[in-house]
Amino acid sequence: MGVKKFLKISIGAMAVLTISAVLVSAVLAAVGGSPDSSPVKEVEDVVNIIGNIVVLMYRAFFIVAISAVIWAAFTYLRGGDDPEKIKSATKQIMWAAVAIAIALVSVGAAKILDQFLQTGK
């Protein structure tokens, strides 16, 4: 399986898991029936929930990126003298570095968004 296909499947799985978690929490909140049972009471609660989701996605993105680097290392090891496999492994490492950069930028963007949403502090 190529790195692009692996990344597509991994990102798709993360999206499905995130959507599932949101739907399950919505159903559980609806079953509770009482507005008092909602975890969201203030704007700060929404910021905390968004922060938790960002941390979860950040960790998942790093796991996918590290998996891609390990996969590229095995490609290098199996490549031997085949220049095509070495070239493929180099591209895999490049895309893993891009994934790590995106994860780092997303955390920075989340912190900036957090600062904008926390007015009065």
**What SS3 state is found at 42?**
coil
Tell me, yes or no, if the pTM score tops 0.85. Answer: no
Q: Could you tell me the maximum CA-CA distance found in the chain, to the nearest angstrom? A: 66
- Rounded Cα distance between 22 and 17, Å, is 9
- Note the pLDDT tens digit of each residue in 20-55: 766 666 655 555 555 556 666 776 777 777 777 777
How is residue 39 annotated by DSSP? S
User: Running along the chain, 121 residues long, what does each successive block of 10 average in pLDDT?
Assistant: 74 74 62 58 73 77 84 85 88 85 76 69 53
Domain map (residue ranges) of the chain: 3-117
pLDDT at site 30: 55
46, 11 Cβ separation under 8 angstroms: no
